[in-house]
Amino acid sequence: MVVGLATESRLDRLCDFLHSLETAAGRIPASKAMAVMPLDIDIVVWDGTIISPYDYSRPYFTRGYARIQQLQPRHVSE
């Protein structure tokens, strides 16, 4: 799933919050090695900058991100 959101939070604080959601869902440090990921939330683009090139290149992400970009309201300058 690809989700777009607006926040006033700093990146590090948002990462901490998302990590707490993953932990609450049962994710533990060994989850990836065990191939068991109850919840995996990645920030791929932050403030227009790609911060996870690997995830950005994945087909499901590029499709979802393109759709989000189409749905964003456009600001018209006067």
CB 22 within 8 A of CB 40: yes
φ, ψ of residue 50 in degrees (nearest 5): -75, 120
Q: What is the pLDDT of residues 37-75, one digit of tens each?
A: 899 999 999 998 999 999 999 999 999 999 988 887 665
Task: Spell out the alpha helix ranges (H) of 1-78.
Answer: 11-24, 53-56, 59-71
Q: Supply the mean pLDDT for the chain.
A: 90
pTM of the model: 0.78
Query: Which residue ranges make up each domain of the chain?
Result: 11-67
Distance (Å, rounded) from C-alpha 73 to C-alpha 23?
34
